[in-house]
Amino acid sequence: MKTSEDDMLSATRKTLALVCAVALVIVAVPALFVLPAESILFQPAPYQEQLAKQNIYIRLPFWLAAITVTTGADVNQNALALIGKDGLQSVYVQVLSPDWSKMQVDGLITQLWDYLNFKTTNLTLTVDLRQLKVRLSEGGASSVGGRILRSWPACDVDQLVKLGGVLADGLINGTVPQDMPLCRPPDNLMPVADTLMQDAFITFASTIPDRVDLVDYFKALPNYNQQQATLVKVFDGYTAARWTGRILPWIALLLLMAVIAFSAVSWRSIFTYIGIPLSGAGILGVITAVLLWAASDNLVNNLVKAMVTVPDEMLKALVLALQQVFLLFLIWSGVAAIVVGTIGLVAVGLPLLIRQEN
């Protein structure tokens, strides 16, 4: 920074200007990532948009069917064997419509970020099941029960005899059959079977609450208290980091004003003293963004794997969605760094250019 105006600065002012300039570089580099993080990483909309682009909600029933088949020990093996994976997919497709699934997932993401953005002090992850209950209670051939009924193999003689008795008992006593054979009745008995299947699903739907808070599910886990203690510490660190990040741009602005104040001999000295730290911060910001981009695939992949255990296809879609959000954040951070770096280079070069012309 050797200029004619530099000689006019006292040793004290020069030292203070240099100290503030170095501090400005240190603070400005992370500050360049704050605004893109606040507007992209810490907002629900980018995640909701990317999940929709990956067709998460359309493919969800097929993934859930694969999960159910894989974890078949947790379901009725006889029913699963009769329905089959294709029949299970058909049920999930009807119950979990894309619109309903998107509405619930979008709601969960919004609730999560409301908590992480300090808009609420209590974390809730509520799923609204009212539409699901209505869909389960529908009757007819195209209903959930109707599709299940028609996905079963045709009844043999013994099953048909038992089915006749079950249907007759249901009609006479108005009860939901408890031991109905898992087979497809002949066409002449199908209307009665449809009615009883609807009654069974209505009874089942009545046991489902209108809303479920997933946080309550986690609270019921046996090791919840230990996990909660860890999560509290993590959230305290996260809170400190978020609030520190939010004040970094203001600290950078104060340091910039300090550099201007200490170097204010002429416009040339001011431009030189602010240009070098700004250009340095911009260059380091671009390098940081590039390094984060190079490591982003592994970072996101490991993060998703640590959070969820899902089929490979679903995992791939989730990873890709989060990678796109992170890439968008890095692009805008890189743009911010380029803008700041360009301003710094112009500030350094302009006095030199004007001096040469004179």
Among residues 219, 254, 272, the one where a domain terminates is 219
pTM: 0.80
Give Cα 28 to chain centroid, integer Å.
Answer: 28
Q: Is residue 53 part of a domain?
A: no
Cα–Cα distance for residue pair 197/184, rounded to 1 Å: 12
86 and 187 share one domain: yes
Q: What is the pLDDT of residue 85?
A: 62
143 and 204 share one domain: yes
Give whole-number Cα distances, 246 to 4, 31, 32, 193, 240, in Å: 38, 8, 11, 63, 10
Are residues 330 and 292 in contact, defined by beta-carbon separation less than 8 angstroms?
yes
Q: What is the pLDDT of residue 161?
A: 82
Q: Number of structural domains, the chain?
A: 2
65 and 165 share one domain: yes
Q: Is residue 48 part of a domain?
A: no
Q: Is residue 26 part of a domain?
A: yes
Q: Is residue 307 part of a domain?
A: yes
∠ CA(147), CA(152), CA(153), 5° rounding?
Answer: 145
- Write down the H helix ranges in the chain: 4-8, 11-31, 34-36, 44-53, 56-70, 77-95, 98-116, 130-136, 144-151, 157-173, 190-206, 214-219, 224-262, 267-307, 312-357
Among residues 172, 188, 219, the one where a domain terminates is 219
71 and 101 share one domain: yes
212 and 70 share one domain: yes
66 and 204 share one domain: yes
Q: What is the pLDDT of residue 174?
A: 58
Q: Is residue 95 part of a domain?
A: yes
Q: Is residue 165 part of a domain?
A: yes
193 and 229 share one domain: no
Per-residue pLDDT of the chain (358 residues; tens, 9 = 90+): 445 555 566 788 889 999 999 999 999 999 999 999 999 999 999 999 999 998 888 888 777 777 666 654 444 444 455 455 666 677 777 777 888 888 988 999 999 999 999 999 988 989 888 888 888 888 888 888 888 888 778 888 888 888 777 777 766 665 555 667 778 888 888 888 888 888 878 887 888 788 888 888 777 767 777 777 888 888 999 999 999 999 999 999 999 999 999 988 888 889 999 999 999 999 999 999 999 999 999 989 888 887 776 677 888 888 999 999 999 999 999 999 999 999 999 999 888 888 766 5
Among residues 219, 254, 289, the one where a domain terminates is 219
148 and 257 share one domain: no
Task: Give the domain range for residue 302.
Answer: 4-42+223-357
Structure tokens at 157: 């003689």
Q: Is residue 51 part of a domain?
A: no
89 and 192 share one domain: yes
The total of other beta-carbon atoms located within 10 Å of residue 1's CB is 16
Cα dihedral 70/74/79/82 (nearest 10): 10
Q: Is residue 150 part of a domain?
A: yes
197 and 236 share one domain: no
95 and 242 share one domain: no
172 and 292 share one domain: no
Q: What is the pLDDT of residue 31?
A: 96
Cα–Cα distance for residue pair 296/329, rounded to 1 Å: 11
Q: Which is it for strands 211-213 and 126-128: parallel, antiparallel or unpaired?
A: antiparallel
